[in-house]
Amino acid sequence: MTADDRPRPLKEAARITLMLDAVLGKDRFDRGPVDVGQLALEYSAQTCPGEPIECVVEDDLEGCMGALVPSDGSPPRKWAIMHHLNQSPGRRNFTIAHEFGHYVLHRNLIGPEGIQCDENSILRREGEGIEKEADLFAASLLMPLHDFRTQLPAKARADFDVLDKLRKRYGVSLTAAILRWLEYTETRAMVIISNEGFAHWAKPSGPALKSGRFIRTKNVVYELPVKSIAARREFSEEMKAGIQQEQGVWFDEPLIEMCFRSERYDQEITLLHFQGDGRRDYDYAEPEDEDTYDRLVSNTRR
């Protein structure tokens, strides 16, 4: 199978989303998130009865967050989705969805040893190749844009209260909800994950990046500004709601900074909201997910 012949992650996620909407109703997220473990078992049994996913299990996976493991022997093979011990429910759901994506998209490419996925690929969504494809599938399946954008419009400024409600609605981690929002927002915004005064990683929205607002963290030690909330370690409700930061604190323009600390994961999550549109020399493209979903909906009505 060549790269051109492989299933496309957004199309496959949209196809399953359309099926779930038809069976459970488009208001299904009002009742709860996708039960992705049960979905993986039932979907694989119905669409690929000769090589289904037989179990979704928790195990001690040293050095990785999740794995898709085939049974012994030659194809057709049976499969197991595995997720590392003690993940929060939101992180676990995204891990399972990521491995389900590998099953749907890549099982014919996977050798007898299976595939193991690390924290960088799943939590930060910074993988490449098939890891990126599995991430796109997982995010689109768990947090469909047609519903997400209804809850949080593209022009709206997100805060932690809104994002926490979305985290619960879709059964994902707060980080996953933030990254999903950053994919489509038309505002200039950025998330920064840090600890001990240094950024672990950062991600800007498309409009922020195209206006020159980004932070380099790969192979670079980025020390937080001394006036930033995380550096000052002032984790109050006021700081979580957001404060005005002057020009020069983060960038050469004023902005709104929001921050809170997660004791469970020993890290701070900072949101930066830039004011105005920045440079106007770019064209903002709508995410492919929405077009894929709408196209499939349109085709079913013909």
- Residue 172: is its pLDDT beyond 60? yes
Residue range of the domain that includes 87 = 9-143
CATH code for the domain in which residue 180 is found? 3.30.450
Within this chain, do residues 137 and 201 fall inside the same structural domain, yes or no? no
Within this chain, do residues 117 and 243 fall inside the same structural domain, yes or no? no
Specify if 280 maps to a domain.
no
Within this chain, do residues 196 and 265 fall inside the same structural domain, yes or no? yes
- Segment 218-238, tens digit of pLDDT: 888 999 999 999 999 999 999
- Segment 86-102, tens digit of pLDDT: 889 999 999 999 999 99
Within this chain, do residues 14 and 135 fall inside the same structural domain, yes or no? yes
The distance from CA 16 to its chain's CA centroid, rounded to whole angstroms, is 17
Within this chain, do residues 22 and 125 fall inside the same structural domain, yes or no? yes
Amino acid letter for position 29: F
Specify if 120 maps to a domain.
yes
Q: Stretch 180-187: mean pLDDT, rounded?
A: 97
Within this chain, do residues 20 and 46 fall inside the same structural domain, yes or no? yes
Within this chain, do residues 66 and 161 fall inside the same structural domain, yes or no? no
Within this chain, do residues 111 and 232 fall inside the same structural domain, yes or no? no
Specify if 1 maps to a domain.
no
Kindly tell me the burial class for residue 217, based on how many C-beta atoms sit within 10 Å of its own C-beta (0-12, 13-18, 19 or more): middle
**Residue 282: per-residue pLDDT:** 45
Per the structure, the count of domains in the chain is: 2
Within this chain, do residues 114 and 186 fall inside the same structural domain, yes or no? no
Specify if 2 maps to a domain.
no
Amino acid letter for position 283: D
Q: Across the beta sheet with 243-245, what order do the strands follow?
A: 198-204, 189-195, 267-274, 255-262, 243-245
Specify if 287 maps to a domain.
no
Task: Categorize the per-residue pLDDT at 155 as very low, low, confident or very high, splitting at 50, 70 and 90.
Answer: very high
Question: Which of 128, 143, 158 is the endpoint of a domain?
Answer: 143
Specify if 281 maps to a domain.
no
Within this chain, do residues 205 and 119 fall inside the same structural domain, yes or no? no
**Residue 286: per-residue pLDDT:** 44
Number of Cβ atoms within 10 Å of the Cβ of 103: 23
Within this chain, do residues 87 and 168 fall inside the same structural domain, yes or no? no
Specify if 284 maps to a domain.
no
Handedness of CA 126, 129, 135, 136 (dihedral sign): positive
Within this chain, do residues 161 and 139 fall inside the same structural domain, yes or no? no
- Residue 287: is its pLDDT beyond 60? no
Question: Which of 143, 177, 210 is the endpoint of a domain?
Answer: 143
Specify if 292 maps to a domain.
no
